Amino acid sequence: MSLFEFFSTLGIFSITLGQSLMILVGLLLLYLAINKKFEPLLLLPIGFGALLTNIPEIGLSMSPIEKLVYANNPTEINQIISEYFGRGTDLSLLLKNASYMDLKIINDAAQSMGYAPGILYVFYEVAIGSGIAPLLIFMGVGAMTDFGPLLANPKTLILGAAAQFGIFATVMGALLLDYFGLIDFTLKQAAATGIIGGADGPTAIYVSSILAPELLGPIAVAAYSYMALVPLIQPPIMRALTSESERTIQMVQLRNVSQKEKIIFPIMLFLLVGLLLPSAAPLLGMLCLGNLMKESLVVDRLSDVAQNSLINIVTIFLGLSVGSKLAADKFLTTETLGILILGMIAFAIGTAAGVLVAKLINIFSKTKINPLIGAAGVSAVPMAARVVNKIGLEYNSQNHLLMHAMGPNIAGVIGSAVAAGVMIKFLG
């Protein structure tokens, strides 16, 4: 091999413009994670996953059949088509409309020819394709969450529910974009996109993996990006919708919640929602299991594993799996732009709805609540609650709203799981 031939085989000479752009996106995510500390536990592995998946030729995120197509071997391609689907079948059309079983057959056939799946593809199949990673994340979140603020002030459950309005508003927005021919969205894709409005990454991943796996990459990136950007997005909306006097409202101290209440609540919550809406049972069940392990005080070792080592391990694989979907040919589409825009609108609507409903409650309630805590109704735990506390202290140095904001924040997690269950029940 000559020197020229050697250099011509280097990846830098085969990289596409799209891959270069996505590598820059990956570097941007790493910058936000490391320099700005925006949700670093997720943005860092997602960002690095984007770098890995866009390295040319090696195909770390490719399935066996995608590697075969990339190799462009007509003989092997025709062999698979003729053996399993009949001659004359168009492979690209087949892959676009293939069922899960068809894809399995095709991938198994390609693998038998020596085309091994990329490691990121394996991560994705295990962590997200199976649905296990979001569920384990929910269990860890439950083990780290105190339902006490919600139990101490049950009316905050309404604020968490109100903030989910952004989810359903986004579904309508996606369908309108499809109606006017701007972006092609199916009903399932619209529903998966709408979940971004809850600012709940695991729920967004879980729903999109069931309803619209082809949009998983942009949906996951949008969901986690907006979770990370809570300190930038929410304050202007909160200030615009509240007066200075409302922002200075001091709330009464929360009552002490007994340990018995904390033990009974996750059990009753799961049974109530699970029996009424079984499709929400996986997400909510893992959340309640994690919380029960924490509050029961009899399985400290399990609780410690769930909220520390286990959730950390799963987060690594989840981040890399999401990053594997940031391949240039799949991410750089009009649908991605639409998802990012709709996600921003959904998050803004969810924040605004929580604040406005809080103001509405004050009209009919003798005990006033600070409308700022309504913004914590989105599912970004505990970032949204911390933002509320920060804004509250800016206008009243004695106004500590963190624990008050945790009520709607926790309610938002429950609300997004219920909304996900509704989407899956009617569309899954």
Higher pLDDT, 349 or 97: 349
- 393 has a pLDDT exceeding 60: yes
Q: How far apart are CA 367 and CA 30, in angstroms?
A: 45
Average per-residue pLDDT in the chain? Answer: 86
Q: How far apart are CA 413 and CA 416, in angstroms?
A: 5
Shared domain check, 342 and 318: yes
pLDDT score of 294 = 96
- 108 has a pLDDT exceeding 90: no
User: Buried (b) or exposed (e) across 152-190, using 16+ Cβ within 10 A?
Assistant: bbeebbbbbbbbbbbbbbbbebbbebbeeeebebebbbb
Shared domain check, 110 and 146: no
Final residue of a domain: which of 117, 147, 179?
117
Higher pLDDT, 428 or 279: 279
Residue type, 88: G
Shared domain check, 232 and 90: no
Using pLDDT thresholds of 50, 70 and 90, give the confidence band for residue 9.
low
pLDDT score of 169 = 82
Using pLDDT thresholds of 50, 70 and 90, give the confidence band for residue 110.
confident
| CA 96 to each of CA 84, 91, 93, 217: distance values in angstroms, whole numbers, following the listed order | 16, 9, 5, 17
For residue 51, which of 316, 315, 320, 340 has the smallest C-alpha distance? 320
- Give me the phi and psi of 185, to 5 degrees please: -120, 130
Mean of pLDDT values over 348-355: 91
- 396 has a pLDDT exceeding 90: no
Shared domain check, 134 and 88: no
For residue 29, which of 265, 331, 424 has the smallest C-alpha distance? 331
Higher pLDDT, 421 or 93: 421
What tens digit of pLDDT does each residue of 193-251 get?
888 877 788 888 899 888 888 788 788 878 877 777 788 889 999 999 999 999 999 88
pLDDT score of 172 = 84
Mean of pLDDT values over 291-312: 95
The residue whose two tokens read 């197509």 is: 69
Q: How many helices (H) and strands (E) does the chain have?
A: 25, 0
| CA 227 to each of CA 40, 58, 101, 379: distance values in angstroms, whole numbers, following the listed order | 11, 32, 35, 9
Shared domain check, 218 and 94: no
Q: Which domain holds residue 309?
A: 130-427
As given in the structure block, the two tokens for residue 259 are 């340990």
Mean of pLDDT values over 249-256: 86
What tens digit of pLDDT does each residue of 79-101 get?
777 776 665 566 666 666 666 67
Shared domain check, 369 and 240: yes
Shared domain check, 387 and 250: yes
For residue 420, which of 233, 271, 287 has the smallest C-alpha distance? 287
Residue 122 lies in a domain: no
Residue 72 lies in a domain: yes
Residue 362 CB-density burial (10 A; 0-12 exposed, 13-18 middle, 19+ buried): middle
Beta carbons of 339 and 196 less than 8 angstroms apart? yes
The residue whose two tokens read 């059949």 is: 65
DSSP one-letter string for 109-134: HHHHTT-PPPHHHHHHIIIIITSHHH
Q: How far apart are CA 221 and CA 42, in angstroms?
A: 10
Shared domain check, 391 and 355: yes
Mean of pLDDT values over 3-24: 78
Shared domain check, 199 and 105: no
pLDDT score of 100 = 63
- 299 has a pLDDT exceeding 80: yes
Residue 37 lies in a domain: no
Q: How far apart are CA 332 and CA 52, in angstroms?
A: 17
Using pLDDT thresholds of 50, 70 and 90, give the confidence band for residue 5.
low
Shared domain check, 95 and 191: no
Lowest mean pLDDT among 118-122, 207-211, 300-304: 207-211
Residue 14 lies in a domain: no
pLDDT score of 341 = 85
Mean of pLDDT values over 296-306: 95
Q: How far apart are CA 361 and CA 369, in angstroms?
A: 8
Mean of pLDDT values over 16-31: 92
End-to-end CA distance of the chain: 54
Q: Residues 6 or more apart from 111 whose CB is under 8 A from it?
A: 64, 117
SS3 384: helix
Mean of pLDDT values over 146-160: 90
Torsion over CA: 311, 234, 167, 322 (sign): negative
Mean of pLDDT values over 109-121: 89
Number of domains in the chain: 2
Q: Residues 6 or more apart from 393 whose CB is under 8 A from it?
A: 399, 400, 401
Final residue of a domain: which of 93, 117, 141?
117
Shared domain check, 152 and 90: no
Q: How far apart are CA 224 and CA 205, in angstroms?
A: 10
